[in-house]
């Protein structure tokens, strides 16, 4: 098996020089770097950067992305965007499914692997003990979508887009609008909900109905389907529904069709996140979104210590076929 010693001998340099080239540390001439890499390419040698960092008690070249629902395409798109943002830093993104049942085990594994950072997009608050372990290990941590750490003050401003969506619904004659939130009561501080409540009040609607549930213990599409089926089987006269994400909106739309409702003639449906699949459904899903590329870049830069706090990204309302159009 080829090792650094053999690489050094074939390149005519010291083992220390090979290590410096691989770890990109120390001063090595470009000519020597090229000579070492030529031998590496010829032999097919693979350097285990993670093991090397662990042996020196350094942080690895991994950023952990924690997600609550592997069936939600938004998180796969976030993973892809973070991978692209991480390449210039020679970093890798490792994705983990997290829930109330496995949160401690997931964090334990990440800390043991000496990840460089954790981006928690899960809807699970980590315990004080988990966070203490993360902080003691020197691992950067950011809770995606929640402004709970001043040093990563990245913010998606949903208010203008949500207000535009509610105004559009009002202008198209919607009388009763609900919000399928899916999560537990304690998470109602979520900014999407706060923006929705303000927009409803601005447009003269009464306090809106917000539907809680077992998401993310069940997938977003399943919760959306079951909740909408229940609402419309009881002949509840909602003519518009907001959903926490696009996958929940897809579940809602299927339930409405099963209940004999027309979209958008009878009920308008709006999601969040702008997943790529949304525009290919029939009807296509209206949505609200920020900029996933900028968001992913901010998380990676923060984990790498290359981030300037205070970034705000405006969101937008994308009106597709699932929402009634204004009469012209």
Q: Which of 111, 131, 155 is the last residue of a domain?
A: 155
Domain shared by 175 and 280, yes or no = yes
* More reliable by pLDDT, 125 or 9: 9
Give the Cα separation of 130 and 311 in Å (integer): 27
Q: In CATH, what number is assigned to the domain containing residue 95?
A: 3.40.50.2300
User: Would you state the pLDDT for residue 277?
Assistant: 92
Task: Report the predicted TM-score, pTM, of the whole model to 2 decimal places.
Answer: 0.80
3-state helix, strand, coil in the chain (%, to 5): 45, 15, 40
Is 304 a member of any domain?
A: no
Is 296 a member of any domain?
A: no
Please, which residues bridge with residue 213 across strands?
Answer: none
Q: Is the pLDDT of residue 56 over 60?
A: no
Q: Is the pLDDT of residue 108 over 80?
A: yes
Which range of residues forms the domain containing residue 30? 4-47
Give the Cα separation of 90 and 86 in Å (integer): 6
Domain shared by 165 and 272, yes or no = yes
Domain shared by 166 and 210, yes or no = yes
Domains contained in the chain, number? 3
Give the Cα separation of 73 and 60 in Å (integer): 27
Q: Is the pLDDT of residue 52 over 60?
A: no
Domain shared by 258 and 192, yes or no = yes
Domain shared by 169 and 281, yes or no = yes
Is 213 a member of any domain?
A: yes
H or E element that contains 22 = helix 15-23
Domain shared by 169 and 262, yes or no = yes
Number of CB atoms found within 10 A of residue 16's CB: 12
Give the Cα separation of 179 and 212 in Å (integer): 9
- On whether the CB atoms of residues 65 and 95 are closer than 8 A, the answer is yes
The three-class DSSP label of residue 193 is: helix
**Could you tell me the two tokens for 135?**
């902080």
The three-class DSSP label of residue 15 is: helix
Taking alpha carbons only, the member of 76, 83, 121 closest to residue 99 is 121
Per-residue pLDDT of 211-236, as tens digits, reads 999 898 899 999 999 999 999 987 77
Q: Which of 100, 122, 155 is the last residue of a domain?
A: 155
Domain shared by 18 and 105, yes or no = no
Work out the average pLDDT over 259-270.
Answer: 95
Q: Which of 138, 155, 172 is the last residue of a domain?
A: 155
User: Would you state the pLDDT for residue 147?
Assistant: 55
């Amino acid at each position: 098996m080829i090792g650094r010693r053999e690489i050094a001998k074939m390149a005519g340099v010291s083992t220390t020089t090979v290590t410096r080239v691989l770890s990109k540390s120390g001063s090595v001439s470009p000519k020597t770097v090229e000579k070492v890499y030529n031998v590496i390419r010829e032999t097919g040698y693979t350097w285990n950067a993670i093991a090397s960092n662990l042996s020196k008690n350094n942080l690895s070249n991994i950023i952990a992305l924690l997600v609550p629902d592997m069936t939600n395409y938004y998180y796969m798109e976030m993973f892809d965007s973070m991978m692209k943002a991480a390449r210039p830093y020679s970093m890798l993104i490792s994705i983990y499914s997290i829930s109330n049942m496995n949160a401690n085990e997931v964090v334990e594994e990440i800390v043991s692997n000496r990840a460089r950072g954790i981006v928690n997009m899960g809807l699970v608050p980590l315990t004080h003990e988990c966070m203490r372990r993360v902080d003691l290990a020197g691992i950067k941590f950011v809770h995606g979508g929640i402004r709970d750490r001043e040093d990563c003050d990245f913010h998606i401003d949903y208010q203008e887009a949500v207000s535009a969506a509610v105004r559009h619904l009002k202008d198209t004659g919607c009388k009763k609008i609900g919000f399928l939130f899916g999560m537990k009561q304690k998470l109602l501080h979520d900014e999407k909900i706060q923006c929705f409540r303000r927009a409803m009040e601005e447009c003269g609607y009464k306090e809106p109905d917000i539907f809680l549930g077992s998401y993310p213990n069940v997938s977003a599409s399943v919760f959306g389907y079951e909740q909408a089926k229940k609402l419309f089987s009881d002949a509840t006269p909602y003519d518009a529904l907001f959903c926490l994400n696009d996958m929940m909106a897809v579940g809602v739309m299927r339930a409405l069709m099963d209940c004999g409702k027309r979209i958008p003639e009878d009920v308008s449906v709006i999601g969040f996140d702008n997943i790529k699949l949304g525009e290919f459904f029939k009807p296509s899903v209206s949505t609200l979104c920020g900029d996933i590329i900028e968001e992913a870049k901010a998380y990676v830069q923060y984990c790498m210590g290359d981030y300037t706090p205070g970034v705000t990204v405006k969101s937008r309302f994308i009106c597709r076929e699932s929402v009634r159009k204004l009469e012209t």
